[in-house]
Amino acid sequence: MTASLKDLPQIEALLSQPNIAALSQGFSRAETRAALRSVIADLRAALLSTDPPAALPDFAGADFAASVAQRITAARAPSLRPVINATGIIIHTNLGRARLAPQAIAALAAAGADASNLELDLETGKRGSRHAHVERLIRELTGAEAAVVVNNCAAAVLLSLMASAGGRNVVASRGELIEIGGSFRLPDVIAQSGAQLREVGTTNKTRVADYANAIDDNTAVLLKSHTSNFRIVGFTAAPERQALARLARERRVILMEDLGSGVLVDLTPFGLSDEPVVADVLKAGVDLVMFSGDKLLGGPQAGIIAGRQDIVAELKAHPLMRALRIDKLSLAALEATLRLYRAPHDPLREVPVLRMLSAPQETVAARAAALAERLAAVGITDTGTEATSARVGGGTLPEQDLPSVALSLRLEGFTAEALSAALRRGRPPVIGRIAQDRLLLDLRSVEDDELSLIADAFAAILR
Separation between Cα atoms, residue 23 and residue 189, nearest integer Å: 52
In Å, how far from its chain's centre is CA 225? 20
* Whole-number percent of the chain with pLDDT over 90: 79
Ranges 10-14, 245-249, 271-275, 439-443: which has the least confidence:
271-275
Indicate if the pLDDT at residue 92 is higher than 60.
yes
Q: Give the Cα separation of 429 and 353 in Å (integer).
A: 20
Sign of CA dihedral 261, 262, 268, 274: positive
Query: Are residues 85 and 92 in contact, defined by beta-carbon separation less than 8 angstroms?
Result: yes
SS (H, E, C) 94-132: HHCCCCCCHHHHHHHHHHHHCCCCCCECCCCCCECCCCH
Q: What are phi and psi of 66, to 5 degrees?
A: -65, -40
Q: Which domains does the chain have, with CATH numbers?
A: 6-76 (no CATH), 84-93+354-462 (3.90.1150.180), 102-346 (3.40.640.10)
- Which pLDDT score is estimated for 318? 95
One-letter identity of residue 90: I
Say whether pLDDT at 179 is over 80.
no
Per-residue confidence (pLDDT) for residue 271, from 0 to 100: 85
CB 8 within 8 A of CB 43: yes
What Å distances lie between residue 140 and 80, 146, 251, 278, 306, CA to CA?
35, 10, 29, 12, 11
- 409-435 tens-digit pLDDT: 989 889 999 999 999 999 899 999 999
Could you give the C-alpha distances from 195 to 6, 191, 209, 305, in angstroms and in order?
67, 6, 22, 19
Q: pLDDT (tens digit, 9 = 90+) per residue, 358-407?
A: 999 999 999 999 999 999 999 998 899 999 999 998 777 766 789 999 99
